[in-house]
């Protein structure tokens, strides 16, 4: 499973992973395709270490490789 860890300005470390990416099966692949919206965005779940609450984002499919840590933190802050 590919994931990213980022730390915000409150020193909360977030682990972000694309929904359904952890499951390795044909059903998971279909779920991933179905979950992509018309804008080409996929659901990404960011889970914090500590007291903050999990955040669900809609990001471009390329978020893992193309988003900087700062961009990812900004998305999290906007949804938190």
Please choose, from the candidates 5, 20, 8, 4, the residue with its C-alpha nearest in 3D space to the C-alpha of residue 51: 8
Q: What b/e string do you get for 19-52 counting C-beta neighbours within 10 Å, with b at 16 or more?
A: bbbeeeeeeeeeebeeeeeeeeebbbbbebeeeb
Length of the chain: 80
pTM over 0.85: no
Question: Does 25 or 58 have the greater pLDDT score?
Answer: 58
Confidence (pLDDT) at 60:
92
């Amino acid at each position: 499973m590919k994931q990213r860890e980022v730390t915000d300005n409150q020193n909360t470390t977030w682990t972000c992973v694309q929904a359904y990416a952890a499951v390795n099966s044909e059903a998971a692949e279909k779920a991933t395709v179905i979950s992509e919206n018309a804008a080409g965005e996929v659901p990404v779940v960011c889970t914090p270490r500590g007291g903050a609450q999990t955040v669900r984002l809609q990001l471009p499919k390329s978020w893992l490789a193309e988003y900087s840590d700062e961009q990812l933190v900004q998305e999290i802050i906007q949804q938190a």
